[in-house]
Amino acid sequence: MPLTVAQLSESALLERILPRLQSPHGDPSGVLLGPGDDAALVAAPDGRVLLSVDTQVQDMDFRLQWPNGYRTSGFDVGWKAAAQNLSDINAMGGDATSLVVSLTLPGTTAVGWVEDLADGLTAAIRELGASACSVVGGDLGRGTEISVTAAVTGSLRGRSPVVRSGARPGDVVVLAGTVGRAAAGLALLESSHGYGSLGADLLRLVECQCRPRPPLQAGPAAAQAGATAMMDISDGLVRDAHRLASASSVRVDFHPEALKSLSSPLVAAAGLLDADPLEWVLGGGEDHGLLATVNPNVMPLAGFTAVGSIKAGHAEVTVGSEPPANVGWDHFAD
Amino acid sequence: MPLTVAQLSESALLERILPRLQSPHGDPSGVLLGPGDDAALVAAPDGRVLLSVDTQVQDMDFRLQWPNGYRTSGFDVGWKAAAQNLSDINAMGGDATSLVVSLTLPGTTAVGWVEDLADGLTAAIRELGASACSVVGGDLGRGTEISVTAAVTGSLRGRSPVVRSGARPGDVVVLAGTVGRAAAGLALLESSHGYGSLGADLLRLVECQCRPRPPLQAGPAAAQAGATAMMDISDGLVRDAHRLASASSVRVDFHPEALKSLSSPLVAAAGLLDADPLEWVLGGGEDHGLLATVNPNVMPLAGFTAVGSIKAGHAEVTVGSEPPANVGWDHFAD
């Protein structure tokens, strides 16, 4: 039997976690006071701090064992906790500066799973390129289900925040990162197609669900280039674009051919599962791609692809100026 | 049947919560961007930000229905979420500037309970005097148990942070706020003495458990006065003092007569429950009182009472230079 968290005191568990949260080259210089006191102290060089929070709950946001046989590792959950929080800062045009992480764990949770979670947090911060960020504190507690909440701070480094309400008719709608792949990966995890039987292309879709890779360089670059509106796609392209449309009082019109090309990496998975790849593109969110609007004169914008345009009119989302009628709109309604 | 969260969309639930999170006089000037985008933006006037996170989980940190009949209200849980986070900032000598709150809710949770939680957050911020703070964002999700995580930011306004490691032999150990009352309140809640039968003095102890009142003015004042070490008492006086002793490599010696006078408000409850009031004083934490050490030349320090002194020697906690032997030390060991 593996060692469980019920067999360790809080401080003994912390002693196993904290060394795994160290940055590879020591704490970034912005960490003025790390774990060990009632609060951490982090630099906010331009006198402002971005702040967000996200939670993952077992059986709601991930399953420990998926129908296709894949077992979610602590590494996956730690990675995703970091990724989705770092993405929120990216979406404002900022660089993440710190994370605090609260873990709620059943007593039966293996200590190794929790150590793995710490490794996943650290790996995501490093591999996604959030070089100014580290984990500066947290909270440990018990519950009947695993729940992981991270809060993140970020710095705009003097830039203006890019909000959802600034899109104007005539702007180009651009996308960085991917969309629909995490949803395809989720469908594979929920299917009866054994995890061990999947080829490399399909495994990459599963990985996109379990370890998303938000394009962290794209947010600050878009802010610098004068993006008029921005948000990350966490709940689905249409649903999130509808929020941007509402905040900006404009219509977001996607180009059908752009959506088609976004769906092409999903065709094989869709064939296997008898699914429509366009539904994943329109409804899938957890890739944490970045949706922005920019004045046409800043195009091309490195890292982004044009996927639509902003039109005057009611706050709505269209595809080729038509309602996205055949793609299960109801699933995506607020 | 009351309306439940399962009957509302996320956005409909948010529409009911957000108006209740408004500050009575509008957002404090430090909130540069509130809810509605991927991250909030908060002023950090001295170029640094304090950050902490705390979680409460149903049946671990509170019961919806206690053995004595009391039903925990959403207001209680919201108040406590704010209070314990605000206390972390207080313990560093800072003023809280913002909260983000993540709610995990079973679908059967009454919407009214959640609205009440939002009211409790707002009330605690106002009544505890955190006038520079407001709720700037959050996350809503489902789970099988109620879980509430808040993260808090704070500003030192140019002061140095007061950490746990700065206590020096000769310092006076001082306490602001109360200790042991929340533990006595917990014992009453867990008892068979019906809530409705309790007199005003005992009800105040229950209230201290459900709606703690950390002394938020005391932390910045102690920092200003040059406190050498500080922390809030969240896990018990002896256990937390032991952490301070370890971080500072000193012995914390409590004065027996000071502890006795801290236990006098608990004597009636202890009599009713056949308990030792000194155990509550030494082991109870959730009042979120403030423990600090100061040079004798800054005494008296407004808002604080002297309760002990710092001695050279092994990192340990003593009472009148003796181990606190008869008070269940094992319960409080790390």
ipTM, two decimals: 0.95
| Cβ–Cβ under 8 Å, residues A30 and A42 | yes
Same domain (yes/no): B316, B293? yes
pLDDT at A53: 98
Whether B153 and A89 lie within 8 Å, measured CB to CB? no
Tell me how far apart the alpha carbons of residues A214 and A223 are, in angstroms, rounded to a whole number.
16
The DSSP code for A109 is S
Which of B245, B292, B283 minimizes the C-alpha distance to B263?
A: B283
pLDDT at B28: 77
Q: What is the mean pLDDT of residues A222-239?
A: 97
Which residues of B are documented as binding site for Mg(2+)? 38, 52, 54, 88, 139, 232, 235
Same domain (yes/no): A249, A266? yes
Residues 6+ apart with CB under 8 A from A68: A188, A189, A190, A191, A192, A193, A194, A195, A198
Structure tokens given for B329: 């030390």
Q: What percentage of chain B carries pLDDT values higher than 70?
A: 96
Same domain (yes/no): B144, B171? no
Helix, strand, coil percent values for chain A (each to nearest 5): 40, 25, 35
* Ramachandran bin of B302, using left for φ above 0, alpha for ψ from -120 to 50, beta for the remaining angles: beta
Q: Is A182 helix (H, G, I), strand (E, B) or coil?
A: helix
* Ramachandran bin of A211, using left for φ above 0, alpha for ψ from -120 to 50, beta for the remaining angles: beta
pLDDT at B282: 95
pLDDT at B36: 93
pLDDT band at B334 (very low <50, low <70, confident <90, very high): very low
Among candidates A61, A143, A151 on the partner chain, residue whose Cβ is nearest the Cβ of B100: A151
CA angle B74, B78, B82 (to 5 degrees): 170
What distances in angstroms separate CA A236 from CA A95, A183, B267, one per listed residue? Answer: 23, 9, 58
Structure tokens given for B33: 């961007």
pLDDT at A91: 98
Q: What percentage of chain B carries pLDDT values higher than 90?
A: 93
A286 is in an annotated binding site: yes
pLDDT at A23: 72
Same domain (yes/no): B104, B175? no
Same domain (yes/no): A189, A305? yes
Tell me how far apart the alpha carbons of residues B77 and B84 are, in angstroms, rounded to a whole number.
11
Q: What is the mean pLDDT of residues B101-115?
A: 97
Residues of B in contact with A50 (CB under 8 A): 39-41
Which of B287, B200, B10, B171 minimizes the C-alpha distance to A239?
A: B10
Amino acid identity of residue B20, one-letter, is R
Is A264 a residue whose pLDDT tops 70? Answer: yes
The alpha carbon of residue A2 is apart from the nearest alpha carbon of chain B, in Å, by: 22
CA angle A272, A274, A278 (to 5 degrees): 105
Query: How many domains does one find in chain B?
Result: 2
Domain boundary, last residue among B155, B173, B196: B155
The DSSP code for B300 is S
Residues in chain A: 334
Structure tokens given for B256: 């027996």
Structure tokens given for A65: 């064992």
The alpha carbon of residue A200 is apart from the nearest alpha carbon of chain B, in Å, by: 32
Place of tokens 């009632």: A38
Same domain (yes/no): A308, A175? yes
Is B320 a residue whose pLDDT tops 90? Answer: yes
Residues of B in contact with A49 (CB under 8 A): 41-44, 49, 153
Whether B60 and A143 lie within 8 Å, measured CB to CB? yes
- What residue of A is the nearest CA neighbor of B99? A51
Same domain (yes/no): A210, A87? no
Whether A153 and B55 lie within 8 Å, measured CB to CB? no
A253 is in an annotated binding site: no
Q: How many CB pairs under 8 A join A and B?
A: 210
CATH of the domain at B69: 3.30.1330.10
Same domain (yes/no): A128, A198? no
Is A331 a residue whose pLDDT tops 60? Answer: no
pLDDT digits (tens, 9 = 90+) for B41-65: 999 999 999 999 999 999 999 999 9
Domain boundary, last residue among A155, A184, A203: A155
- What residue of B is the nearest CA neighbor of A246? B36
Among candidates A38, A55, A333 on the partner chain, residue whose Cβ is nearest the Cβ of B231: A38
Which of A315, A321, A251, A254 minimizes the C-alpha distance to A283?
A: A254
The alpha carbon of residue B102 is apart from the nearest alpha carbon of chain A, in Å, by: 7
Structure tokens given for B42: 């908060």
Place of tokens 């049947």: B1
Same domain (yes/no): A112, A253? no
Is residue B118 packed enough to be buried (19+ CB in 10 Å), middle (13-18) or exposed (0-12)?
buried
DSSP E strands in A172-331: the ranges are 172-176, 229-232, 251-254, 290-294, 305-311, 316-319
Is residue B194 packed enough to be buried (19+ CB in 10 Å), middle (13-18) or exposed (0-12)?
exposed
Which of B262, B249, B92, B259 minimizes the C-alpha distance to B171?
A: B249
Which residues of B are documented as binding site for ATP? 138-139, 164, 234
Domain boundary, last residue among B125, B155, B185: B155
Is residue B16 packed enough to be buried (19+ CB in 10 Å), middle (13-18) or exposed (0-12)?
middle
The DSSP code for A28 is -
Whether A151 and B156 lie within 8 Å, measured CB to CB? no
Which of A188, A4, A20 minimizes the C-alpha distance to A106?
A: A4
Amino acid identity of residue B53, one-letter, is V
pLDDT band at B22 (very low <50, low <70, confident <90, very high): confident
- What residue of A is the nearest CA neighbor of B15? A334
The alpha carbon of residue B172 is apart from the nearest alpha carbon of chain A, in Å, by: 20
Which of B177, B178, B171, B262 minimizes the C-alpha distance to B225?
A: B171
Residues of A in contact with B33 (CB under 8 A): 161, 163
pLDDT digits (tens, 9 = 90+) for A5-48: 999 998 899 999 999 998 766 667 899 999 999 999 999 999 99
Is B329 a residue whose pLDDT tops 70? Answer: no
Tell me how far apart the alpha carbons of residues A67 and A189 are, in angstroms, rounded to a whole number.
6
Structure tokens given for A162: 């890019």
Q: What is the mean pLDDT of residues B70-79?
A: 98
Among candidates B37, B48, B100 on the partner chain, residue whose Cβ is nearest the Cβ of A41: B48
Host H or E run for residue A41? strand A40-43
Residues 6+ apart with CB under 8 A from A257: none
Q: Give pairs for B71-75: CB < 8 Å, separation 24+.
A: B72/B210, B73/B113, B73/B116, B73/B120, B74/B112, B74/B113, B74/B114, B74/B115, B74/B116, B74/B117, B74/B118, B74/B119, B74/B120, B75/B116, B75/B117, B75/B119, B75/B120, B75/B123
Domain of residue B108, residue span = 5-155
Mean pLDDT of chain A: 95
The alpha carbon of residue A195 is apart from the nearest alpha carbon of chain B, in Å, by: 26
Tell me how far apart the alpha carbons of residues B157 and B155 are, in angstroms, rounded to a whole number.
5
Tell me how far apart the alpha carbons of residues B42 and B137 are, in angstroms, rounded to a whole number.
11
pLDDT at A271: 97
- What residue of B is the nearest CA neighbor of A233? B38
| Cβ–Cβ under 8 Å, residues B78 and B118 | yes
pLDDT at B15: 94
Which of A27-36, A209-218, A273-282 has the least mean pLDDT?
Answer: A27-36
What distances in angstroms separate CA B11 from CA A120, A269, A333, B183, one per listed residue? Answer: 31, 32, 10, 38
Same domain (yes/no): A131, A70? yes
pLDDT digits (tens, 9 = 90+) for B259-294: 999 999 999 999 999 999 999 999 998 999 999 999
Would strands A305-311 and A251-254 be described as parallel, antiparallel, or unpaired?
A: antiparallel
Question: B209-233 in b/e burial notation, b at 16+ Cβ within 10 A?
Answer: bbbbbbbbebbbbbbebebbbbbbb
Same domain (yes/no): B177, B253? yes
CA angle B153, B219, B20 (to 5 degrees): 45
Which of B324, B288, B291, B322 minimizes the C-alpha distance to B82?
A: B288
CATH of the domain at B257: 3.90.650.10
Same domain (yes/no): B13, B149? yes
pLDDT at B26: 67
- What residue of A is the nearest CA neighbor of B30? A48
Host H or E run for residue B151? strand B147-155
Is B249 a residue whose pLDDT tops 70? Answer: yes
pLDDT at A325: 63
pLDDT at A1: 82
CA angle A184, A186, A191 (to 5 degrees): 95
Q: What is the mean pLDDT of residues B183-188?
A: 98
